Chain A
Amino acid sequence: MSIDSISISSFMTTKIVTEAEDQNIHSASRKMYENNIGSVIVVNNEKNKRAVGIITERDIVRILGQMEPWLLSSPLSTLMSKPLITMTSNGSLRDGIQTMYSKNIRRLPIVSCKEKSDQIVGIITDKDIFRVLMKNQNLVQSLLTDNMMAQNIQTLHKRFAEYWFGDVLIHRK
């Protein structure tokens, strides 16, 4: 197993919670809370479910922070993040990590790689990435060993140490 051979589809969440774009903050909040999740995918209508955006827990708190009562009844289409950044289900764990970081997002909806549609088939979050890495400690270990052999070993080692052995270094000070 390597970071390139683990496919997104093997660990993505396939239960997608959606809300129609003409609904409001209250209904989106309810869907998130009842499903114990931090975001809902916004779709253009409940029938064909074409994904048009996403709204997160943090977005909602920010919207409330504006203290404009009319925002609470505004349609999600005017409040959501768009366009939706997605990835295809045949991507790898590496692709997923890199897309999230380069776009600075924590939730990545996955679209089918088969048909040319914008049908959402899953979603991955930073938490899913964390879980899959935790479950595959061998993978992490081999990744470290391989890279430790690389030429820029000093930089690498330093960065690794900063992250994971921080308190050892702190104690030495």
Chain B
Amino acid sequence: MSLNPTVRVKAAMNRRMITLDKGLSVKSAIKLMVKKNIGSVVITENSSNNPVGIITERDILKSIAYRRVRPEITKIEEIMSTPIMSVEQDATLGDAAQMMIKKNIRRLLVKQDNKYVGIITQRDLQKLMTDTIRALLIM
């Protein structure tokens, strides 16, 4: 990403975090993902806004693969990914990309002063890059 050292995570992150409580069913997470066309939901506890985990398409795939889940009954907390992985909003996109590669994850929550303010995904980074290239190609 040395091409664009000035671009910070906060410029590319999604500020709308979609959340659910960890005590809800896996079914409710699946429904929300489909409805909002998103690949993950941030999980909170006790109706606070404090994230404790994240549930992703991959978590759901895994549970279905091994038939461990009955979506109506199984709680999100039983299959969600923990702990939260995060990046500071003033980090560069290159920092975020490297962290994702190192930890083999596709999503990072974004922090500002110890508060979670957004989410950034590997796909966001990819899209930025390829959209730019594509814009150049068609002109």
Contacts and interface: CB of A to CB of B under 8 A. Distances in A.
Contacts of A60: 57, 60-61, 64
A61 B61 CA distance: 8
Contacts, number: 115
Nearest to A32: B61
Contacts of B39: 58
Most chain B C-beta atoms within 10 Å of own C-beta, residue among A61, A101, A129: A61
Most chain A C-beta atoms within 10 Å of own C-beta, residue among B60, B71, B136: B136
A133 B4 contact: no
Interface in A132-171: 133-134, 137, 140-141, 143-144, 147, 150, 152, 155-156, 159-160, 163-168, 170
A116 to B, nearest CB: 29
A137 B2 contact: yes
Interface string A110-132: 00000000000000001101100
A143 to B, nearest CB: 6
Interface residues of A, number: 46
Interface in A81-126: 94, 97-98, 101, 126
Given A65-B33, A165-B6, A97 B137 contact: yes
Interface residues of B, number: 42
A173 to B, nearest CB: 12
Interface in B1-29: 1-4, 6-8, 10-12, 27
B73 interface: no
Interface in A29-45: 29-30, 32-34
Nearest to B62: A33
Interface in B115-136: 122-123, 125-136
A67 interface: yes
Interface string B62-105: 10111100010000000000000000000000000000000000
10 contacts: A60-B57, A60-B60, A67-B71, A97-B137, A130-B130, A134-B129, A141-B3, A159-B135, A165-B7, A168-B6
Which A-B residue pairs are the 6 nearest by beta carbons?
A: A167-B11, A65-B34, A29-B65, A30-B65, A130-B126, A166-B11
Interface of B: 1-4, 6-8, 10-12, 27, 30-31, 33-34, 39, 57-58, 60-62, 64-67, 71, 122-123, 125-137, 139
Given A57-B57, A130-B129, 16 more contacts: A30-B66, A34-B65, A65-B30, A97-B133, A97-B134, A97-B137, A129-B126, A130-B126, A133-B129, A134-B1, A134-B129, A140-B133, A143-B133, A152-B139, A156-B139, A167-B8
